[in-house]
Amino acid sequence: MTDLTQGGAPQAFERTVGRIPVRNLWLLMLYASDLYRTLGQARTASETMPDELPRLVGEILVNAVEARMRRHLGLGYQHREKTLNRVRGRIDVLTTERRQLLMRGQIACRFDELTLDTSRNRFVRVALEKLSRLLYQHPVGRRCRQLAQRMTEMGVSDQGVNRSQIDLDRFDAHDSAERLMVSAAKLAYDMALPNESEGKHFMQQPEREEIWVRRLFEKAVAGFYRVALTDGWIVRPGVKLKWFSSDRTPGLNSVLPQMTVDMILENLDLGQRMVIDTKFTSIYTKSNYRDETLRSGYLYQIYAYLRSQVADSDILAQSASGLLLHPAIGETVDESVVIQRHYIRFATVDLAASSREIREQLLRMIKRDPRCTA
């Protein structure tokens, strides 16, 4: 994590979320972001300098916004209802009659109007403002403030900005040029959230912080693999699994739990399928008989994910492997076992390590273990 709220030089420091040591949350944000997939050659620099990420993201964002402004920001249609002196769009008959507008030479109309004040442009403006506060005295922060002011003067408001709505936004062929700008705005917006309070405090509520980082860890691992794995690998995050069953009673469908795995990695050329479940807890716990033991509930869970999908028609499912991935707490763990032809691995990644070491650890998780005989 880095403190840039006062505009000083970036200084990384290790912090803990619960008991989990985390060196830089911004690196996880980068991996989880859409921007990571679109950076191209700049990706390496972003990974190797995670403490500089706010500045790097800021430069990408302001350059993308300036480029769009030179070509004109994207327009969109805004629904309007207005009383006019001429017909435009559709006539609102009820309002026209109720207010007796025709007697005054007016008519109520409903129409769509081209505008720059779209949800996408509003979000970019808000992201610029948030990042300008994070980089308050940095030159990039000043550029963010200037661009936000220009967008305000062009008629782009800051009202009705919804982060989840932007996630659902889809880019067509004609507006693909805005993809980089919006991807950078998303990451800038998210990076500013942990720094709303002054100084180096992350969030006021520890429980909220841990839930947020747990979800971030899951998205970061999936986002990293989607970019880093090539040569035929397919990464599918948030996969809902089906129960292969028969003879269900009528009421079972309404009460049968759903299975949703964090991610599935497949390589058809290599004939491999890997089911990965991330957990933001210590990999070991205590029992009545042992000081350290794997968490039985997690083991049963990954076993259910693997065995419930076995079918004669799915060759990859018959020997699919599983990975329970935890953050490291004081020690590195990498244990494995083969159960009914399924290679199951229990491993940790050290989030307090450097970005290069984190990358290498995640890539090592994908290598097939020679002890697996499946």
Domain 229-364 annotated CATH 3.40.50: no
Residue 213: the pLDDT is: 87
pLDDT at 74 exceeding the cut of 60: yes
Q: Where are the domains of the chain?
A: 15-73+119-203, 76-115, 229-364
pLDDT at 13 over 60: no
Mean pLDDT of 226-254: 90
Residue 317 CA to residue 300 CA, distance in Å, equals: 17
pTM: 0.78
Which residues are registered as beta bridge partners of 16?
A: 21
DSSP bridge pairs for 260: 240
More confident residue, 373 or 53: 53
pLDDT one-digit tens code per residue, 161-195: 888 888 877 777 666 668 888 899 999 988 876 65
pLDDT attached to residue 5: 39
Q: Distance (Å, rounded) from C-alpha 374 to C-alpha 366?
A: 16
Among residues of the chain, what percentage have pLDDT more than 90?
A: 45
pLDDT band at 261 (very low <50, low <70, confident <90, very high): very high
Evaluate whether 131 touches 144 at the Cβ level (below 8 Å): yes
Taking residues 79-100, what's their average pLDDT?
Answer: 90
Pairwise CA distance, residues 162 & 315, whole Å: 43
Backbone angles phi, psi at 77, to 5 degrees: -95, 135
Taking 70 as the threshold, does the pLDDT of residue 61 lie above it?
Answer: yes
Least-confidence region, from 165-179, 264-278, 327-341:
165-179
**What average pLDDT does this structure show over 233-238?**
94
Q: What is the 3-state secondary structure (H, E, C) of the chain?
A: CECCCCCCCCCECCEEECCEEECCHHHHHHHHCCHHHHCCCHHHHHHHCHHHHHHHHHHHHHHHHHHHHHHCCCCEEEEEEEEECCCCCEECHHHHHHCCCHHHCCEEEEEEEEECCCHHHHHHHHHHHHHHHHCCCCHHHHHHHHHHHHHHHCCCCCCCCCHHHHHHCCCCHHHHHHHHHHHHHHHHHHHHHHHCCCCCCCCCCHHHHHHHHHHHHHHHHHHHHHHHCCCCEEEEEEEEECCCCCCCCCCHHHCCCCEEEEEEEEECCCCEEEEEEECCCCCEECCCCCCCEECHHHHHHHHHHHHCCCECCEHHHHCCEEEEEEECCCCCCEEEEEECCEEEEEEEECCCCCHHHHHHHHHHCCCCCCCCCC
Confidence label for 143 from pLDDT (cuts 50, 70 and 90)? very high
Residue 334 predicted with pLDDT over 50:
yes
